[in-house]
Structure 1
Amino acid sequence: MFYQEVLCFSCKKIFRVYEGSLQYKQAKERKSSFFCCEDCSHKIRIEAILNFFR
């Protein structure tokens, strides 16, 4: 299975993006795009939901 290693803009850790995912396609097309890992993505999403109801 093919993958690319990209840098998370939130935690600054390198994580793998596997072939077939949307992030893999975006990484192949544009190298300068921002990516976030699954853990940071979940944290950002929960924080946005909680702030929406305030």
Structure 2
Amino acid sequence: MFYYEVLCYSCKKIFKVYEGSPKYKQAKENKIKVFCCDDCNHKIRIEAINNFFR
């Protein structure tokens, strides 16, 4: 399986983006240079939901 190693802008860790995912296509085409790993993406989403209901 093909993959790209990209840097998470939140936690600054390198993670793999595998072929077939939307992030892989974006990394391959260099449309977006800033990526967020799944763990940080989940944390940011939960925080946004919690702040919405306040």
Q: Does 1:33 align with 2:33?
A: yes
Residues in 2 aligned to 1:32 and 1:23: alpha-carbon distance in whole angstroms? 9
Give TM-score scaled by structure 2 length: 0.94
1:1-54 matched pairs, under 5 angstroms: 1-30=1-30, 33-54=33-54
Unaligned runs of 5+ in 1: none
Pairwise CA RMSD of aligned residues?
Answer: 1.1
User: Alignment partner of 2:5: what SS?
Assistant: strand
Between the aligned residues of both structures, percent identity stands at 78
Unaligned runs of 5+ in 2: none
Cα deviations across residues 3-35 of structure 1 (Å, max 9, x unaligned)? 000000000000000000000000001165210
Q: Which segment drifts farther, 11-20 or 29-38? A: 29-38
**Hey, which bits of structure 1, 4+ residues long, moved more than 2 A?**
none
- Residues 9/18 of structure 1: CA separation in 2 closer, same or farther (3 Å cut): same
Residues in 1 aligned to 2:37 and 2:51: alpha-carbon distance in whole angstroms? 21
